[in-house]
Structure 1
Amino acid sequence: MIKSVDKALTIIKIVSTRRDGFGVTELAEKLELNKSSIFRILATLTAHGFIEQDSETKKYRLGYQYLELSAKLLDSIDIRKEAMPFLRELEKITNEVIHLVIYSQKEAVYIEKLEGNETLRMHSQVGKRAPMHCTSAGKTILAYLPKEEVLSIVEQKGLPQHTKNTITNTEDLFKNLDEIKNKGYGIEQEENELGIRCVAAPIFNHTGKIAGAISISGPSIRMSEARISTLKDELMKVCNMLSTRLGYKKD
């Protein structure tokens, strides 16, 4: 490890912990270095915009270069790429079909699908769109969208019946969405395809907004209430880890 780089990064971490910054003496004491060494490191970091000095207090704090780098990093994050290791882990644990779903133009869009080791025929395909109101991932995303947006989706897309279990009433839909938000996961009870049950959990981005959902799908005979109860814990754990990876910080 290069000592000078290590010291510089340590200073950055320390400075980031206090809004009003640190003085040179404080930093020297924390790092057990002489002031001249601290001055040289701070001067270098300041020249690159990573640290700046308050003109009044003379204390050092984080520079705006971090905002620029953070924006570039967040813009470059590919949710599909970031999610893949987590999806594979879920597939390995469950042996069921795993979907990664995002929200686009008032519909759910499958952007990844892992088939699992068990045979299951489903309509879902990568790139295919699905209704929001009768899929576990779709409902889970709806639960975290503003109410006005949900009403707009219902007004434009309606609540068409896909099976006898499909929710076709707005009031019932909102009750279900409230349950999903309270529990932190959503269940589809053969609402889109007969014989198939699914459970989904939300993914959040760095702004705290819903970024998508991951679902586990299987035949109703395997996806009993007891099994779903077990699977949802692992699913929520994975979605929390992915959300953190995307920059989400829970309040």
Structure 2
Amino acid sequence: MCGVISKAIQILDVLVPQGSEKEMSVTEISRELGMPVQSVHRILNSLSRHGFVAQNKKTKKYKLGLCVMKYGFLMWDSLMLRSLARPFMEELSQKTKESVYLATRENTEGVYIDSIDSPQMLKISEPIGLRLPLFVGASNRVILAYLSKKVQDTLLMNVDWDKTPSLIRLSADYIMKDLEVIRARGYAMTSGEATEGTTGIGAPIFSFENTVIGSLNVAGPSLRFTPEKIETYAYQVKKYADLISKELGYRNKYRWS
């Protein structure tokens, strides 16, 4: 299996355009890579079924497919989000003196892609790359809240609620009700779900396509999150998440459906 994957990657690499769109026949790819024609043909058929390559019906030659472009744009969006968000994260960190996180969605999970630790001695410090289901924690649930109802239902449909990585018991009914609250107030807040004794507040970040692509979050020890602090932090998190969204080209045209 590893050998087939390696060959598939080599084929994709040889089809990468060099200044202009590049098309190659099965024979040309076989000659270029020193692979048997039958192997190249078989791998191209598999790549074509999944959208990674496309065949020109007239010339019968192959080029990279739209699926490769899709993954490229997803990576570009993630890099752009991190670059644009960093100055706003630093300002939010200075104002709250708590840990600040930037999260994005990858399929059914939320992933931290950047963070700034609190300068205080007592703090939480989660690693970049931490993954949790979209229904666990404020940073993830606020993303889930602004996905379509169809996507929400699909994500929550087959969850084994007895095996969720949450420190408190969750259920589909509880999550759906909380998503309504989140959309009504514009931010999510959870306590003791992902990490014991901590509270997190997250606000959604939207792209130029008016879709949610991530979240901005403030988190720290629950004992410091008094009602007054929660109100202040929620305002600040929403403010800076909105600023990031505007930098990404969001036009305040989000509609949940």
Task: Tell me the TM-score range normalised by the shorter chain.
Answer: 0.5 to 0.7
For normalisation by structure 2, the TM-score amounts to: 0.64
Q: Partner letter of residue 180 of structure 2?
A: D
**Alignment correspondent of 1:144:** 146
**Alignment correspondent of 1:173:** 175
SS in 2 for 1:78: helix
**Which shows bigger deviation, 112-121 or 95-104?**
112-121
Deviations 1:107-153 (A, max 9, x none): 00000011020135647211221222221011100100112212222
Q: Partner letter of residue 130 of structure 1?
A: L
**2:167 is equivalent to residue 163 of structure 1:** yes
Identity of aligned residues (%): 26
Gaps of 5+ in 2: 1-72
**2:232 is equivalent to residue 224 of structure 1:** no
**2:105 is equivalent to residue 103 of structure 1:** yes
**Inter-partner Cα distance in structure 1 for 2:238 and 2:123:** 25
SS in 1 for 2:203: strand
Q: Partner letter of residue 183 of structure 2?
A: K
**Inter-partner Cα distance in structure 2 for 1:146 and 1:118:** 38
Gaps of 5+ in 1: 1-71
SS in 1 for 2:152: helix
**Inter-partner Cα distance in structure 2 for 1:100 and 1:155:** 27
**Alignment correspondent of 1:55:** none
Asked if the contact 2:123–2:220 (Cα under 8 Å) also holds between the matched residues in 1, the reply is no
Q: Partner letter of residue 163 of structure 1?
A: L
**Inter-partner Cα distance in structure 2 for 1:153 and 1:139:** 12
Shift of 1:154: 2.1
Number of residue-to-residue matches in the alignment = 176
**Alignment correspondent of 1:188:** 190
Aligned-pair Cα RMSD in Å: 1.9
**Alignment correspondent of 1:3:** none
For normalisation by structure 1, the TM-score amounts to: 0.66
The structure-2 alpha-carbon separation of the partners of 1:87 and 1:126, relative to structure 1 and needing over 3 Å to count, comes to same
Q: Partner letter of residue 126 of structure 2?
A: S
**Alignment correspondent of 1:214:** 216
State the structure with more CA Rg.
1
Shift of 1:157: 4.5
